[in-house]
Structure 1
Amino acid sequence: MSLISSVRNTLVPIHKAGYPFIAVFFVVSLLLGLLWEPLMWVGFLLTAWCAYFFRDPIRITPLDDDLVISPADGRVSSIARIVPPVELDLGIEPMLRISVFMNVFNCHVNRAPMRGSITKIAYRAGQFVNAELDKASSENERNGLVIETAHGAIGVVQIAGLVARRIICWAQPGEIVDAGQRFGLIRFGSRLDVFLPAGAEPRVSLGQLAIAGETVLAEFSSDKGPTVSRRG
């Protein structure tokens, strides 16, 4: 294998949404260096962290309509039956909610948990309390997607956190998404909630680390053959 190929396979791609931030961090580092050289090196470390934050690695996603794949990297912070946010129009009955909390060192690119059609996208302004708190689901700024799947409508909610100040969603109503497909990101610490209809059974535990596009959060049926996967 050539040196160029080795570097290409080692380095993780950076999402384009991070380029402006990385550039700002780099320029500020140079300016700080004019004042005091040690500040420049601190700035370069922060620039490297910024590039790491906006990484967008390739993931291997199981191709199975019975599986619910994690939409985010992070820690499973809640598994409960909760009434979904009213703006999703998913009814007033409790649904299985699995939450994944992302800290500032996790990859923040969000991926669709199941294959289906996006029937609704609803943004709601709110506060910026710690995303690990349960009340963050109802009080924080959030953006919700409703995806019609083979097992009914599911909700996917991007929730801003204590540090996060920008939710990005490039998906559109009517769009068909595949499981593991990128649909948005949240800048600097946040959380993803997945609301699932009856029949879904959790396949993760509280505190477990999840990988976006790969970790199975829940399953609708286990009576099936081998599962294939897709790289993306």
Structure 2
Amino acid sequence: MIIHREGHLIILITTLGLGLINALCAGYIPVLQPWLGIVSLVFFGLIVQFFRNPPRKIAQKNEGWIYAPADGQVVVIEETEEPEYFKEKKLQVSIFMSPLNVHVNRAAIGGTVQYTKYHPGKYLVAWHPKSSTENERTTVVIKNAKTEILLRQIAGAVARRIRYYVKEGQILEQGQEYGFIKFGSRVDLFLPLDAKVKVSIGQKVKGNVDVIATL
């Protein structure tokens, strides 16, 4: 299993912390140590699986296809006003990531990064309607020869550490990793109104595997 770099320090701290707790328990309350050991293994397993980073190569790159930028469940498909960058109506598709999903964020299209911005904010639950505009979030806009789309990483009630690794002017390949959100979160896509959506509400999708929409 490949572990994402964002998890290296957390996994090390978790390992040391659990080791110390189990050692103290074995010395002072040995009768509880077997149960604590089981709980510790389960907890450690959850932390490790959260930071897994499975290799995901796009089977067929296409400038007219918009791939899922994250693993999770589609929770929003609607026309809405995008007030930050486009300042006009766009087609919004939102993917909610539970703590059990892979949390790597990938470029839905290839192209040039036109705009990036980090916004501090609240920590409403990620499926709350206002989380897209009030929560801590980042905005990344990518443009290619066919379209220009906006990707928004949104922190949730638990996820309070958003990472993105791109800057304006950078060229991204379709499917390239551009960010990571720790412990449950959401990604919004803002697409042209005439994009043909290929997913439905409640559908589970995988980054770099499922096509969200075509142009």
- TM-score, length of structure 1 as denominator length: 0.86
User: Where does residue 47 of structure 1 map in the other structure?
Assistant: 44
Shift of 1:55: 0.6
Shift of 1:49: 1.1
Pairing 1:104–2:99 present: yes
Match of 2:74 among 76, 83, 90: 76
1:80-159 pair list within 5 angstroms: 80-86=78-84, 89-91=85-87, 93-159=88-154
Q: Secondary structure at the match of 1:27?
A: helix
- For structure 2, list consecutive stretches of 5 or more residues without a partner in the other structure: 26-32
User: Where does residue 5 of structure 2 map in the other structure?
Assistant: 16
Question: d(CA) in 2 for partners of 1:35 and 1:146?
Answer: 50
User: Where does residue 225 of structure 1 map in the other structure?
Assistant: none
Decide which moves more: 15-24 or 43-52.
43-52
The Cα offsets for residues 5-37 of structure 1, whole Å up to 9 and x where unpaired, read as xxxxxxx31111101111111111111112322
Shift of 1:133: 1.4
Shift of 1:108: 0.2
1:168-187 pair list within 5 angstroms: 168-187=163-182
The amino acid of 1:71's aligned partner reads P
Shift of 1:213: 1.1
User: Where does residue 223 of structure 1 map in the other structure?
Assistant: none
8 Å contact kept, 1:124–1:141:
yes
8 Å contact kept, 2:68–2:205:
yes
Shift of 1:83: 1.2
Question: d(CA) in 2 for partners of 1:49 and 1:58?
Answer: 19
- For structure 1, list consecutive stretches of 5 or more residues without a partner in the other structure: 1-11, 221-232
Question: d(CA) in 1 for partners of 2:144 and 2:175?
Answer: 14
The Cα offsets for residues 199-228 of structure 1, whole Å up to 9 and x where unpaired, read as 3111000000010111100000xxxxxxxx
8 Å contact kept, 1:25–1:46:
no
Q: Secondary structure at the match of 2:82?
A: coil
The amino acid of 1:90's aligned partner reads F
Question: d(CA) in 2 for partners of 1:212 and 1:84?
Answer: 23
User: Where does residue 30 of structure 2 map in the other structure?
Assistant: none
The count of corresponding residues between Structure 1 and Structure 2 is: 206
8 Å contact kept, 2:89–2:193:
no
8 Å contact kept, 2:79–2:193:
no
User: Where does residue 59 of structure 1 map in the other structure?
Assistant: 56
The amino acid of 1:159's aligned partner reads I
% identity of equivalent residues: 36
User: Where does residue 210 of structure 1 map in the other structure?
Assistant: 205
* 4+ aligned runs moved over 4 Å, structure 1: none
Question: d(CA) in 2 for partners of 1:53 and 1:149?
Answer: 32
The amino acid of 1:13's aligned partner reads I
Match of 1:35 among 7, 24, 34: 24
The amino acid of 1:39's aligned partner reads L
